[in-house]
Structure 1
Amino acid sequence: MEDATFEELVAIGEQADVTGWDFSWLDGRATEERPAWGYAGQLAGRLRHARSWLDVQTGGGEVVGRAEVFPPTAVVTESWPPNVVKATRLLHPRGVVVVHDPDEPPLPFADGAFDLVTSRHPATIWWDELARVLAPGGTYFAQHVGPASAFELIEFFMGPLPEARRGRHHDDEADAARRAGLDVVDLRTARTRIEIYDIAAVVYLLRKVIWWVPGFTVDAYRDRLRDLDAVIRREGKFVTYSSRHLIEARKPSSPEEAEPHGRPDGVDA
């Protein structure tokens, strides 16, 4: 729809289904580079060797659903009811239990219940709870959203947010994991390019990723949407950057192992 008007494109973005955590609707409307480490592939490999596994804030189950094999005990949590429905339809037939959970402590599981806990882009991270449900020797393996992710887009609507730019920094999260008693054994970072090609994609993203511009509605931000539409038409795209980090943290097998550690070797600064 190269000749679509601003209003037509906004309407398309407003009508799009934003349930689940599948962004394929954006094909042809936006692109995003992926971190080189390949989280979904690494997760699938780890699932082959786990005995009991929990995925926290799984969305619609799309990412974990790519795995070919699940452990004997396999559980995912999700807070948003439409996503719970999607995840149940996708994962229940494969033996994965889907738990509707508010994403606030406590997790509804016993201490030491899982030898592998995972998450991709959790909105909230409760390190003490993650450590509690991990079995001794168990691993938390996740890809988190890092600092100032998509801030070029966010600040277009909300103005400068200098204090918020530090939020979710990988060093801060690694320190929090250590305070919860976990040993950070791997930490990698990536900054990747996002290109957005029409205002329908912007409306879709701000409706789906609701914490980017809290309280977003088309009516409330119509003037800024119109300004951004003009930028995209003039430049051919709007460019912003995502920030990601891959983190692996291990729970000590015994109290003797629980000693302070510094930054792990090989951390990307």
Structure 2
Amino acid sequence: MKDDKLFTAYIKSAEHHFSGWDFSYITDTGRMQSELLPWSYGSMAATLVQNCDAFLDMGTGGGEFLSKLRPFPEVAWATEAYPPNVPIAAKRLEPLGVKVAQVEDDTTLPFDDNQFDVIINRHESYSPKEVRRIIKDGSIFLTQQVGGTDCIQINEALGVPANDEFAHWNLHFAAEELLQNGFKITYSNESYPAQRFYDIGALIYYLKAIPWQLEDFSVEKSLEKLYEIHTQIQSNGYFDVRQDRFVIKAEAI
């Protein structure tokens, strides 16, 4: 293992700086690729954002995705809970007319009752009750979520138990919560697309960016298991896992 120069080089490559919510270092280079979903959250979100008077993007990351949904209405807000991302998002979005608010608690958002006629949420936690408070009657909440079994094959390969905190989180549970909090579901779908890693460095880079997948992950602690995956990739050409995704479009009633 110590003499495997390719393995060492890939580990070194994973030290590349990660900021906002930008995986282009491994996606634009084709080192990690994902199977297509049967829906487009971006297409649905763009149509909603561009045809409303006031919208909120929950969990905007560094604003990378939202910045591509222009033009924006006069009232445009985004929230972000991860402190390092807030100035990144503000720098990107505020010149485009989007105000950015840092949040800490899903149940207490800094907005008025009935403030928005569109709320979008991509892979961000939320309180259905609080979303209902700040959205107008007849308005739309669109969310794409990561389910509780997401990429569980990584945990299995590294011998680390999956996080039980999210085991319940799936389309059925999320839809029932929204129904119980003043919404009706107008569209929903779920899918388990493949996510493929073509080198161990791409996998390590990915894991460093999403610490909730593996509690207290480090290369040193998982070195032997990582090397096993590396040899598998060298033999098969890739390492496949299964994502867990679902989408819900709900109308406030």
Matched residue, 1:217? 218
Instruction: Give me the TM-score of the superposition, normalised by structure 2.
Output: 0.91
Q: Deviations over 1:167-221 (max 9, x none)?
A: 3210011001111121111111122111101111111111111111122122222
Native 8 Å contact 1:143 1:244 kept in 2: yes
- Counterpart Cα distance in 1 of 2:20 and 2:70: 20
3-state SS, counterpart of residue 84 of structure 2: helix
Matched residue, 2:91? 89
Distance 1:163 1:210, change over 3 A: closer
The offset of 1:82, in angstroms, is 2.3
Moved over 3 A (4+): 158-166
Native 8 Å contact 2:56 2:78 kept in 1: yes
Matched residue, 1:25? 25
3-state SS, counterpart of residue 126 of structure 2: coil
The code of the aligned residue for 2:120 comes to: T
- Counterpart Cα distance in 2 of 1:160 and 1:22: 27
3-state SS, counterpart of residue 61 of structure 1: coil
Distance 1:218 1:251, change over 3 A: same
Distance 1:80 1:198, change over 3 A: same
Distance 1:195 1:125, change over 3 A: same
Matched residue, 2:107? 105
Matched residue, 2:16? 16
Matched residue, 2:185? 184
3-state SS, counterpart of residue 144 of structure 1: strand
Q: Deviations over 1:48-97 (max 9, x none)?
A: 11111111111111111111211210000011222112211211110100
Distance 1:91 1:202, change over 3 A: same
- Counterpart Cα distance in 2 of 1:192 and 1:53: 29
Matched residue, 1:118? 120
3-state SS, counterpart of residue 99 of structure 1: strand
Q: 1:80 aligns with which of 79, 82, 100?
A: 82
Larger CA deviation: 179-188 vs 151-160: 151-160
Matched residue, 1:265? none
- Counterpart Cα distance in 2 of 1:116 and 1:184: 15
Aligned pairs, number: 248
Q: 1:50 aligns with which of 49, 52, 70?
A: 52
Matched residue, 1:231? 232
The code of the aligned residue for 2:40 comes to: G
Native 8 Å contact 1:40 1:64 kept in 2: no
Native 8 Å contact 1:40 1:66 kept in 2: no
The offset of 1:158, in angstroms, is 4.0
Native 8 Å contact 2:163 2:213 kept in 1: no
- Counterpart Cα distance in 2 of 1:4 and 1:89: 40
Instruction: Give me the TM-score of the superposition, normalised by structure 1.
Output: 0.86
Matched residue, 2:172? 171
Native 8 Å contact 1:57 1:103 kept in 2: no
Matched residue, 2:155? 154
- Counterpart Cα distance in 2 of 1:243 and 1:198: 22
- Cα RMSD (Å): 1.9
The code of the aligned residue for 1:199 comes to: I
The code of the aligned residue for 2:78 comes to: V
The code of the aligned residue for 1:208 comes to: A
The percent identity for this pair of structures is: 28
Q: Deviations over 1:206-238 (max 9, x none)?
A: 111111112212222222212221221122110
Q: Deviations over 1:90-126 (max 9, x none)?
A: 111101001111243211111111111111111x231
